[in-house]
Structure 1
Amino acid sequence: MITIMIISVVIIAVVIALSVFTVNKGYAFKHTIDPLENNPHLPKDDESKK
């Protein structure tokens, strides 16, 4: 019974450690955005720039 409890605690600790690791790695990721002049999703409106 004790061995099952120890194995369960080890598995829970590993899952929590991996969760903390992935969340920290996700927050550390540098997100970038495209400048407006290079955005392919915006319509080209050359006449309004003149």
Structure 2
Amino acid sequence: MYTILIICVIIVIVVLLLAVLTTSKAYQYKHTVDPLENNPYLQNQDINENEDKKSE
């Protein structure tokens, strides 16, 4: 009975440690954003807006 309880507590501690380590590593990750002039989606959007204005 006590052996199962000890094994369960060890498993809980290991899972909790892994969750804390993963979360702290995720917060340390440095996100970057592409500059606007290199974004092909915005260029396509500008072209579409210009075409819409011409058709009016």
1:34 maps to what in 2?
34
Higher relative contact order (CA 8 A, sep 6+): 1
TM-score (ref. length: structure 2): 0.73
What is the CA RMSD across the aligned residues, in angstroms?
Answer: 1.2
* Gaps in structure 2 of 5+ consecutive residues: 47-56
2:21 is matched with: 21
Quote how far apart the aligned CAs of 1:32 are: 0.1
TM-score normalised by length of structure 1: 0.81
